[in-house]
Structure formats: C-alpha cells, structure tokens
C-alpha cells in the first residue's frame, strides 16, 4: 500500500511540474519574451546541473558507506585476501575515473553555460593531452590485468595432491554435489544416463562410481585444500561462493574447475557474526531462467575430524536405488541428442530445457 502511495505521489509531482512549465511558457508568450535566445532558464538549468551533481553524488557516497556491511562479506578462505585486494583496487580506480569525469561534465555545463557576450574557444587538438589520457589508462589497465591473471592462476592451477575433490553440477534450477568415496576417485558420467533417479548421469558400471555419494548439503573441511570440479547439464550457470571469494561459470559441455582452502568453520563464522542462523551458501550468479532464484545450496565448513565423520555417514549413490536406463530409453536419448546436434544450438537449448522440465 505504501508503495502505491509513493507511485501516486511521484505521478502527481510530475503533473505539477509539467503544469508549471506550461504556465511559464504561456507567460513568456504573453510577455513577448519567448523569442529571446538566452532566457533566465539557461542559468537555472546550469545551476540545476550542479545541484544534481551534489545531491546524487552525496547519495552515492552515503549509500556506499551505509550499506557497506551488506555487500562486504567476511573472508573465509586462504587466497581470499588476494582476490579482495584486486577487487578493491579495481573498484577505487573505477570510482576515481567515474568521479573525475562526471564532476568535470557537470561543472563544465555550469561554468561554460552560453552567454551572448562570450565565444567558445576553438581547440582542435592537443597532442600531449591525448598521449596522457591514452598512456595513463593503459598503464593502469595493464596493471589490473596482470594482477587479475595472477589471482586467476592461483584459483585454477593444479590443486595439491591432498585436496578434497568435489563435483558440482548446475541445472535448471538446482545444484547437485558429488563426493568420491574411499577410493578418492570420482566415477565417469554420461548425459545419456541422466534420469530422475540419476540426475548426474553417473555410469553404474564404472567401479569408481560405486562408492560416490550425493549429499543434500555440501560439506568442506577447514584448513584443507578443496578442488571443485564444475559442469552444467542444460544452460550456463555460475558457481558462486561469496565468503570464499570464489566464482566460476558452469558451462554446458565444457567442465571447469577451481580450488581454495576454507579457513573458518560454520560455527566460527556464526560466532564472529553473532548470528546463530548463519550459513555459507552456494548461489548461481547467472540469470539462467525463471527459477534462477531457487539455485541455492547450503555449504557447511567442518573441522577435519567432523568432516571425515560426516563422510563416513553418507550412503553411496548406488545404494539409494539408482537405476540405469533401459536399452530403449538409451537409444531414444541417443537419437534425441543426434537430432539436437543436427538442428543447431538454439534447438539444443530448448531440448535441454524440455528434458529438465520433464525430470
């Protein structure tokens, strides 16, 4: 109700402003001043440029500090400080460029407003100025690119041998996570085996899948490297773990990966934030369809001993009654995929969405 009242108020205010402008125009016509090339409104508009700059600039600065805690989440991973430094370096460079260019824009509109007794200076070029505004941004951008390349290498280089390996698959509109069992090896998968009982398309005949398990929550061990193997079943998704400062796209047909080391358990983060309901979260940061909002999954960081205990309590995927498709279903899947490949990428997207909806 309050929102409706605000909307009505805005509409009424705009109507009043339009009527005032109309009255002003009619008065100017009656006085015979409507033909004057430069009227008082020229100066008023120039002043309004400054008012707009100061007002909106003030709101921008106030909101940035007031809402800082809402978008600046605590860091909970070993490499996160490097990512954080790069993020804020990029942010400050962007804000500085934004403020300089916009302050100049609005100030110049006021300072050099048209006056009949003044002519504009013809200033065709300035070689030194052009070199300066080319070289300086180039140096800054190259520095940011090399900093980003260093951080990217940290996140995507080969994980340590002792790393815990977890596979995450995105699909419309949920996440599935798979862990290897005692053999520490993830089994193979094939899209043709995807079914309601086997959402990740695991191949039951592969011995490596026999002890794999698919839990409802994602658990990570504190202080231990974690390698995330990522894939998508239908459209583009994005694996985002904000507190660990990790993000990687999940691309259909192109597996991706990243690794990091969690440094704070869920219990420690709850104590730090004084929030007993806090949970780490896996979210999707790609607009992947109508159900995008539902692509959330709880992530729990445990002490290593608790993590190992949790793993031992999990039931292997095969023991949950997963079944392979029959020969007829498999042939149908193969024929469907061949038809999709022949029809092109647009049909593939539609077919993937249809298959997911049916499941």
Each residue's pLDDT expressed in tens, for the chain with a length of 359 residues: 777 888 888 899 999 988 888 887 777 777 766 565 666 778 888 899 999 999 999 998 899 888 888 878 889 998 888 888 888 999 999 999 999 999 999 999 898 888 877 887 888 888 888 999 899 999 999 999 998 888 888 888 888 988 999 999 999 999 999 999 888 899 999 988 988 888 899 998 889 999 899 998 999 999 999 999 999 999 999 999 999 999 999 999 899 999 999 999 999 999 999 999 999 999 998 888 888 999 999 999 999 999 999 999 998 888 765 544 444 444 444 444 444 345 444 444 434 433 333 33
User: Which part of the chain is CATH 2.60.40.420?
Assistant: 164-343
Cis peptide before 197 (omega within 30 of 0): no
Looking only at the bridges linking them, the beta strands covering 226-232 and 256-260 are: antiparallel
pLDDT of 347: 40
Q: What pLDDT is attached to residue 71?
A: 78
Measured distance CA(332)–CA(338) in Å, rounded: 10
- For residue 260, give the nearest of 242, 277, 236 by alpha carbon: 242
pTM: 0.69
In angstroms, the CA 320 to CA 157 distance is 35
Note whether 280 and 263 are within 8 A (CB): no
DSSP H or E segment with residue 155 = helix 127-156
What pLDDT does 197 receive?
85
Q: Which of 106, 96, 88, 108 is nearest to 136 (CA)?
A: 96
Q: Determine the Cα–Cα distance for residues 218 and 243; give it in Å rounded to an integer.
A: 14
Look at residues 175, 173, 194, 191 and name the one whose alpha carbon lies nearest to residue 288. 173
- Give the residues across from 248 on adjacent strands: 239
Domain 164-343, what fold? Immunoglobulin-like (2.60.40)
How much is the pLDDT for 133?
87
- Rounded Cα distance between 171 and 233, Å, is 5
Q: Residue 167, SS3?
A: strand
Q: What is the DSSP letter of 254?
A: B
């Amino acid at each position: 109700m309050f929102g409706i009242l605000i909307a009505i108020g805005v509409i009424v205010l705009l109507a009043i402003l339009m009527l005032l402008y109309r009255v002003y125009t009619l008065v100017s016509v009656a006085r015979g001043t409507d033909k004057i090339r430069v009227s008082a409104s020229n100066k008023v508009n120039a002043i309004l440029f400054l008012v707009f700059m100061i007002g909106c600039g003030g709101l921008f600065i106030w909101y940035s500090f007031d809402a800082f805690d809402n978008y600046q989440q605590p860091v909970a991973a070993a490499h996160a400080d490097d990512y954080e430094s790069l993020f804020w370096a990029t942010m400050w460079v962007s804000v500085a460029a934004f403020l300089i260019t916009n302050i100049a824009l609005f100030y110049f509109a006021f300072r050099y407003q048209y006056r009949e007794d003044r002519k504009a200076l013809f200033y065709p070029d300035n070689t030194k100025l052009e070199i300066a505004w080319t070289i300086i941004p180039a140096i800054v951008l190259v520095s940011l690119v090399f900093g980003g390349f260093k951080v990217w290498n940290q996140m995507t280089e080969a994980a340590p041998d002792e790393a815990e390996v977890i596979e995450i698959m995105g699909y419309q509109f949920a996440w599935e996570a798979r862990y290897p069992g005692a053999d520490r090896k993830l089994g193979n998968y094939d899209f043709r085996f995807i079914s309601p009982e086997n959402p990740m398309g695991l191949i039951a005949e592969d011995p490596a899948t026999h002890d794999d398990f698919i839990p409802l929550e994602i658990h990570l061990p504190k202080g231990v490297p974690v390698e995330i193997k990522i894939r998508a079943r239908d459209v583009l998704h994005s694996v985002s773990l904000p507190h660990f400062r990790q993000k990687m796209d999940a691309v259909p047909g192109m597996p991706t990966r990243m690794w990091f080391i969690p440094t704070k358990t869920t219990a420690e983060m709850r104590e730090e934030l004084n929030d007993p309901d806090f949970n780490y979260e896996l979210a999707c940061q790609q607009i992947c369809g109508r159900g995008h909002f539902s692509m959330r999954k709880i992530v729990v960081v445990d002490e290593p001993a608790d993590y190992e205990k949790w793993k031992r309590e999990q039931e292997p995927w095969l023991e949950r009654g997963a079944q392979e498709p029959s020969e007829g279903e498999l042939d149908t899947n193969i024929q469907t995929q061949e038809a999709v490949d022949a029809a092109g990428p647009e049909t593939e997207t539609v077919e993937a969405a249809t298959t997911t909806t049916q499941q």
